[in-house]
Amino acid sequence: MLKQRKDSIQLVSEWDLDPAQRDKKLEILNMWEAMIGKADFESILEICSNFIYYSERLTALAYKDIFNKNNSEIDNFEQSLFFPLRRKDRIESSVDMFSSFRLANNIDANKTYVNGAIDYLIKYRGSKEFNNKVIKEFDEEVCKIDDSIYILKMNLETYISDRKTHSSIKKKISELQVNKARRKERLDKSIEDFHRNYYSIKNLLIIDDFIGTGDSVNKFLKEIHEIINGSKISVNFFLWVIEASESGLEAIEHKANELGLEIVIRFYKKTKDVLAEDVIFSRDNLDKVKALIEQINKKNRLKPSPYCKNHAIASFVNAPNNNLTLLSEESSTWKALFLRTKRNKIEREVSSKDLKDAYQYLRE
């Protein structure tokens, strides 16, 4: 028992945690040992010894490594914009991780767009279509002005001896020229803004933490395709993450090819499936370990996520949903080692009075 307790202490000491956090993890490991017995706990502890916890410090180091190794491969890197991987309006873990990335690499805040690439590309397309319409209207108006100026200049010859009329025509020509110049000045300002905010941006660098099944990225790519398809928007997509699974990378590559998109993915580490053969356990022991895990899940009513890839990773922000269930999920009888916190939307019930108040406000 003394040796086992020492092993747990040694394991917890390897994670970059403060003393209070270490004590909490040790308490959970000791609780697990008491619940499942020393022999079975040996197997679970072996899995935990392969758990990688990215503290704020280690997250920053990982992001610095990704940046330093990959920024040189991007053409026109100075024309890049950085984004968190976002698909929802609320704060997602990618936003917190994005802050770590930005600070670790001293990224100028003006080179970031925190609302995400989807929102940015929607605005890009909207700005492109708006300015395209404005330019066409301007060109048509300029043609009309130029035609008017041409006719007026012809009339100048006719009324050359009529000083009053001649002066009046010259004044009208001047007014039209000033009007044309002002319109061009306003248009130039709009096009300058478009060029600065959109057209000059050649690379979209998207930052996230972990790729498990690749499902989140594939949904993101689908939305991107719906926005830019047929728009003639030309940008390069890059996705930088801390860890990525082989199967997730393959799924993303397949989806990108299907959509006709190109996205370059770079990562700090490949994620391990802790229940894959010969990763931690040999073929002879693996079935026994899987049976043990299934037994723990069933006894403690732990339901594996549909995204479960048997990973063992977490960051200081959260644990991914592709982790081995018993590591990051809880029940009334089981404590997670690195809990995955969920952000379920709470729908507040709207009373008839609330509805009436809203109607009154909107009618005012």
- pLDDT tens, N- to C-terminus, the chain (364 residues): 334 445 888 999 999 999 999 999 999 999 999 999 999 999 999 999 999 999 999 999 999 999 999 999 999 999 999 999 987 665 667 789 999 999 999 999 999 999 999 999 999 999 999 999 999 998 999 999 999 988 888 888 787 777 888 889 889 989 989 999 999 999 999 999 999 999 999 999 999 999 999 999 999 999 999 999 999 999 999 999 999 999 999 999 999 999 999 999 999 999 999 999 999 999 889 999 999 999 999 999 999 888 899 999 999 999 999 999 999 999 999 999 999 987 655 567 878 888 878 878 887 7
Query: Measuring CA to CA, how many Å separate 226 from each of 184, 222, 229, 253, 259?
Result: 33, 6, 6, 18, 9
Distance CA 136, CA 245 (A): 49
**Minimal CA–CA distance to 224: which of 206, 201, 246?**
206
Distance CA 8, CA 36 (A): 15
* Structure token pair of residue 126: 């909207």
- What is the pLDDT at residue 343? 60
* Contact status, residue 119 vs residue 112, Cβ threshold 8 Å: no
Distance CA 326, CA 258 (A): 35
Length of the chain, in residues: 364
Backbone angles phi, psi at 265, to 5 degrees: -110, 130
| DSSP per-residue codes, 202-229 | -EEEEE-SEESSSHHHHHHHHHHHHHHT
* Contact status, residue 312 vs residue 51, Cβ threshold 8 Å: yes
* Structure token pair of residue 20: 């209070």
Percent helix, percent strand, percent coil in the chain, to nearest 5: 60, 10, 30
* Contact status, residue 223 vs residue 118, Cβ threshold 8 Å: yes
Distance CA 120, CA 86 (A): 11
Contacts of 65 (CB under 8 A, 6+ apart): 268
State the sign of the Cα–Cα–Cα–Cα dihedral 327, 333, 339, 340: positive
In one-letter notation, the amino acid at residue 336 is: A
Beta strands, E only, the chain: 52-54, 80-84, 203-207, 210-211, 236-244, 263-270, 313-315
